[in-house]
């Protein structure tokens, strides 16, 4: 039963990923290279910062995973001593609602997190 559930979950995840314009690492590389950062910087706790720059520890994620990105960026900041940053990947108009949610939480709790967005063709915003 566990094997069947695992296979089913894999197929669902693959289907969701197939709808993406590009995989997450496409956006990471494009953005991080332009920012002069280090991709996939490994921390002492074996987690990886998606992009580490001279000022920021940055998490990349698709819009629907905005809340997860928030927690990861804060953790990476704590581990590196750098400012937290998030690049939210917004591949279509519907994704813009996640940008609003992320910024509402940041403002409500007075969090000092730099946020950027990147669009489906790799254009950088924010």
Average pLDDT over residues 4-21: 52
Q: What is the pLDDT at residue 19?
A: 74
Task: Could you please state the CATH topology (level 3) that the domain comprising 22-125 is classified under.
Answer: Rossmann fold (3.40.50)
What is the average pLDDT score of the chain? 86
| Contact between residue 98 and residue 64 where contact means Cβ atoms under 8 Å apart | yes
pTM: 0.80
Express each pLDDT in 23-81 by its tens digit.
887 899 999 999 999 999 999 999 999 999 999 999 999 999 999 999 999 999 999 99
Q: How confident is the model at residue 123 (pLDDT cuts 50, 70, 90)?
A: low
DSSP line for 31-65: HHHHHT-EEEEEPTTS-EEEEE-SSEEEEEEEGGG
């Amino acid at each position: 039963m566990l094997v069947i559930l695992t296979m089913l979950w894999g197929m669902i995840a693959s289907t969701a990923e197939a709808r993406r314009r590009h995989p997450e690492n496409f956006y990471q590389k494009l953005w991080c290279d332009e920012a002069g950062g280090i991709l996939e910087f490994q921390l002492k706790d074996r987690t990886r910062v998606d992009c580490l720059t001279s000022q920021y520890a940055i998490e990349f994620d698709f819009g629907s995973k905005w809340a997860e990105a928030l927690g990861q960026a804060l953790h990476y900041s704590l581990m590196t001593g750098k400012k937290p940053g998030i690049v939210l990947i917004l591949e279509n108009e519907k994704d813009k609602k996640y940008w609003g949610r992320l910024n509402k939480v940041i403002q409500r709790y007075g969090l000092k997190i730099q946020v950027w967005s990147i669009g489906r063709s790799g254009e950088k915003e924010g």
